[in-house]
Structure 1
Amino acid sequence: MPYFSQWESAALAPALIAGVAQLTDDPDWQASGARSLSEYATWAGHVCGMACLKMILAACAGRVVPTLELARGACRYGAYTVDGEAIKGLIYAPFTAFVEREFGLQAEVVTGIEAGDLPALLVRAAFFMASVHKSIRTPQRVPQERGGHLVLVTFAGMQGVTFHNPSGHGAASRADVHLSLETFAAFFAGRGVAVLPSA
């Protein structure tokens, strides 16, 4: 399963998270598809969902679509609302319309579930974009709230959940991260987007 960070320079993630580097320091920003460094800096903190979609497209269709190109497409469907530099989203329902019409992916909004429901969900879904707290990169610290960040779940069983985290800060917190259902539950908001297998 291909991995992509929501930041073009994944190696810069620890410094970005620690606040000792800025998005304008990313030397690879142009690979994002941004039209300017300013556009990249505005958007890169909001595209975890687009990074998940980028991984799905690379896995299913062999296509690597730039993250900001995906974000602009999602905006046309109302999956983000933009007011100056204030960006809100990902809004799930218009996102599912976007991926269906533009990429032929069947996706559905999932709400009101628990981590224990994920094994059954991943039997019928190829992937699940799960809303979790961003601090899932340090799972030993239990957050005070859940949700707000998207990770791409690729497997779930009674032994735990495996996922790619677009904002992982090191190799162990980026690709094929495995957590127990109990640990994942502490971060999981009970909602997300299921992407179903191709017909």
Structure 2
Amino acid sequence: MNILQINSSARSTGSESTRLADEIVARLAARGTATVTRRDLAAEPHPVLDEAALQALFTPADQRTPAQSARVALDDALIAQAQAADVIVIGAPMYNFGITVQLKSWFDAIARAGVTFKYTATGPVGLLTGKKVYVAVTRGGLHRGGPSDVQLPHLKTFLSFVGLDDVEFVFSEGHGMGPEAVARARAEAQQQIDAALA
């Protein structure tokens, strides 16, 4: 089993979403032979999608400059990791009601027409199929199921867009609300992990 772990916190250490992602990966790896690839988007930030990147992506491969080829190759590497994975585990903290810029850059990198999705007469079709996804969602406040939770629809929509439809979410909320709330959040997240990996 090939497991790809994506840590998208801005912090390389002390991140609750990374802690939960680590636990999910450890539990999965303990089931049998597994190869784990970890990508820490804080330690190894992926460049944002800017004008130069767009120009590189939309220039035919045989006409790209060396700099453009190098830029596209960065995205190619992330796509190859996602394609090779049997399981993808994502640590996804909420920042200002949304996903982090680190995760957005990863999303932008792996979304490529004709490679991870395609357009058809009836709409887009995702091509990263046959994979299991676990997403550890952490928040400072309590947002799940409320109008302020605009992060979850974004995650669900993007993952489905590229063909990742078999997704389990683990929530840990209230980390900015004091020690008791943190302890409660961690206990509830542990229960969700236990249920998801039973």
Q: Which structure's CA Rg is the greater one?
A: 2
Normalised TM-score (structure 1): 0.28
TM-score when normalising by structure 2: 0.28
